[in-house]
Each structure stands twice: as C-alpha cells, then as structure tokens.
Amino acid sequence: MKSYYWVFPFLLLHINLLKADTSTDESLDANLLLLKTGIGYMVPFPEKCSEILSDYADYASNFTKCSILHARPIRICKNCIEHYMSFHDKYHELLTTVVNGTSCKSVFISRDRLDAILEYHDNIMGIWEKGHCNACYDWKTGQPVLSNETIHFNELFNQTIDCIMKYIVPSSNDSKVVCDNCMQSYIKLDNYYKTLSADAIGVDSICMDIVDSMNTTRSIWSKTLNCCKVRRTPEVVFLVSTGIISLLPILYYLVLRYCSPMRDLPNVLKQSRFKQSILRSLGRSN
Ligand SMILES: *[C@@H]1O[C@H](CO)[C@@H](O)[C@H](O)[C@H]1NC(C)=O
Ligand SMILES: *[C@@H]1O[C@H](CO)[C@@H](O)[C@H](O)[C@H]1NC(C)=O
Ligand SMILES: *[C@@H]1O[C@H](CO)[C@@H](O)[C@H](O)[C@H]1NC(C)=O
Ligand SMILES: *[C@@H]1O[C@H](CO)[C@@H](O)[C@H](O)[C@H]1NC(C)=O
Ligand SMILES: *[C@@H]1O[C@H](CO)[C@@H](O)[C@H](O)[C@H]1NC(C)=O
Ligand SMILES: *[C@@H]1O[C@H](CO)[C@@H](O)[C@H](O)[C@H]1NC(C)=O
C-alpha cells in the first residue's frame, strides 16, 4: 500500500498539465496565432469564397486542358474562348466578392510568396495575350464574336488547303500539278493575310490561330511542295526582258556609231544640246 504513495505527485502534476492545455494561456496563444496567420487556420473561409475558388479551379483546369489539346496546330483562340471567358469572369468575381465584410480577394490573393492562385491566373492570361487571341474576335457587342477578318481568312485558308489536298499525289514528288492548280488560292490567301497587319510576319497583332495557319501554309507551299521554284519561271522571263529593254538605248547608239555614216544621222538628234554634244564627240572620235 505504502509503495503507491509516490504516484500522487506525478498524478497531480499531470492533471495540472492537462488543465494548462485548456487554460486562459492557451486561448491567448490562439488569439496571437489568429492575428499572425489570419483566417483559414482558426476560422474557416467564408463558404461563398470557397465555392468561387472551387469554380475558378475548375475553369482554370478546363482552359489549361483546352489550350494544351489545341496547341498544335494552334486553335486555342477559336476553341477555348468559352473556357477563357468563364475563367476570366470567375476571377473577376473572386476579386470583387465581399462576404460579411471579408473580401475573397483578401483571403486568397497575395497572402504568401507563392501566391499560386494569382500565378495561375497570370499564366493563363499570358498564354491568351501572347497569342493575341482577342484579335480573332469582334468585341463590339461585349460578347466575343468571330471577326469578319477571321471568318474571311478561314474561308481562304480552307479553300487553299482543300485545293492542295485535292491535287496532291502523295506517291510522287512532282508537285507541279498542285502548284499550278492552287497558285490562285494561295496568292489570294497570302495577299489577304498581308492586309491584316503592317508587318509581313504578322506576329505583332494578328491572332495566333491565323498566324500559325499562314505560317504552316507558307511552309507547305515553299518547302513541302516547293512551289516557289515553279513560280520563279515568270520572274526569270521578266528579269531577262527588263535587261534587254534597258540595254536598247546603248544598242541604239552602238548601231548608229558603227553601222551608219555620220551624215545620215536623223535630224531629230540635233534638237537638243545634249544630243549635239554627243554627236560632236562621236564626230571627233571619227
Ligand atoms: C469543364 O469541362 C468539362 C468537359 O468539357 C465539362 O463537363 C465541365 O462542365 C467543365 N467545367 C466547367 C466548370 O466549365
Ligand atoms: C454573416 O454574418 C451573420 C452573423 O455573423 C451570419 O448569420 C450570416 O450567415 C453571415 N452571412 C454569410 C453569407 O456568411
Ligand atoms: C461583318 O459582317 C456582317 C455580315 O456580313 C456585317 O453585318 C458586319 O457589319 C460586319 N462587321 C464588320 C466589322 O465589318
Ligand atoms: C473546308 O470547309 C468544308 C465545308 O465547310 C469542310 O468540309 C472542309 O473540311 C474544310 N476544310 C478544311 C481544311 O478545314
Ligand atoms: C523523289 O524523292 C526521293 C526522296 O525524297 C528522291 O530519291 C527521288 O529522286 C525523287 N524523285 C523525283 C522524280 O524527284
Ligand atoms: C513558323 O514555322 C516555323 C517552323 O515551321 C517556326 O520556326 C517559326 O517560329 C514559325 N513562325 C511563327 C511566326 O510562328
């Protein structure tokens, strides 16, 4: 019996410790913690904010998936516009919603150095802006509608690709048939594209779906089909005839100089001082 007395001091000590866990000391600590870290640890987020955040995450992942799936060939602007709009609007809602005096923005954005929510937002906006996707659309009504330029370009692009598909013979690498038949569509497409932007590459302001379609078409046209070679023939003819024509005056004087007697020179030549001086020098060297 006596041997158990030594336990009591420990029991008392232990009870004291347990008491300390729920004492005023602890609630003071909790208040300090609350002040330091803000809500989320001790107090749950406003339910409305959590719902918005959850939707925001869904829209962000839907857009991300869409943009990855339509990255090659680029059709992000055309195919992901709805996801983009939802995402954009939801972010706006996240920034502006205030529940019982607590704004969702103050709860979720810029609370720490990682700032993941904002970071994802900036990444998605970065993709969208880098692709100049807004330029594909007409925003006059407030809602995005494919602009007339985009629609017209797509028609010309569609015609050119359809034409190439129609005339190409995969087994042969003689592309003359394709080049001849599709030259009209291609030139029309290329010229229309050039009207869309001040600079010929068009990366400055044209919607990326269009830039990429044109880039691919140009690459198919000049590299895969090698159609520029065919096109060069008229240029060579043009250059040669220009050369001959520009040589004609010299030829004319040479003929005069060697093939006709000086006294038979036509009177017309004597009309200007310049021509007279030429005549004189010709006569002198004779
Ligand atoms: C995300 O995409 C999936 C599949 O297209 C769709 O079922 C879902 O409704 C979308 N979610 C949102 C929040 O738009
Ligand atoms: C706002 O606060 C009041 C009282 O604190 C509470 O009854 C109400 O549910 C809160 N509203 C929302 C939307 O959380
Ligand atoms: C686009 O085309 C539609 C119908 O052809 C026309 O009503 C509209 O005014 C055009 N918009 C622009 C910006 O040219
Ligand atoms: C062009 O448009 C026609 C009809 O709308 C369609 O059948 C065809 O697949 C389109 N071609 C391309 C390359 O998009
Ligand atoms: C077609 O291409 C193959 C390889 O790319 C080449 O060996 C062949 O000589 C080409 N034929 C003609 C007719 O150019
Ligand atoms: C066009 O395509 C080539 C490769 O085919 C690529 O290197 C280049 O960056 C593209 N240009 C643009 C403006 O996308």
Domain boundaries, the chain: 1-44, 45-130, 146-225, 232-278
> What is the pLDDT at residue 276?
65
> What is the pLDDT at residue 18?
44
Counting ligands in written order, the one closest to the CA of 154 is 4
Q: Which atom of ligand 4 is nearest to the CA of 157?
A: 13
> What is the pLDDT at residue 225?
85
Cβ-based neighbours of 103, under 8 Å, separated by 6 or more: 96, 97
DSSP state of 133: G
Counting ligands in written order, the one closest to the CA of 160 is 4
- What is the CA(148)–ligand 3 centre distance, in A? 6
pLDDT by 10-residue block (mean), the chain, 286 residues: 49 44 52 53 82 95 96 94 95 93 88 90 94 92 92 95 88 81 92 82 79 93 81 63 78 74 52 63 63
Tokens of 5: 């007395």
> What is the pLDDT at residue 23?
44
Mutate-to-test residue for ligand 2 from 39, 100, 107, highest number of ligand atoms within 8 A of CB? 100
> What is the pLDDT at residue 259?
74
> What is the pLDDT at residue 10?
47
SS3 category, 98: strand
Counting ligands in written order, the one closest to the CA of 147 is 3
Query: What one-letter code names the amino acid at 71?
Result: A
Going by alpha carbons, the residue nearest to atom 3 of ligand 4 is 158
Going by alpha carbons, the residue nearest to atom 1 of ligand 5 is 173
- How many Cβ atoms sit within 10 Å of the Cβ of residue 55? 16
Tokens of 157: 């692009």
Dihedral, CA of residue 119, residue 120, residue 126 and residue 129, to nearest 10: -130
> What is the pLDDT at residue 177?
85
- What is the CA(90)–ligand 4 centre distance, in A? 35
Dihedral, CA of residue 96, residue 97, residue 101 and residue 104, to nearest 10: -90
- What is the CA(173)–ligand 5 centre distance, in A? 6
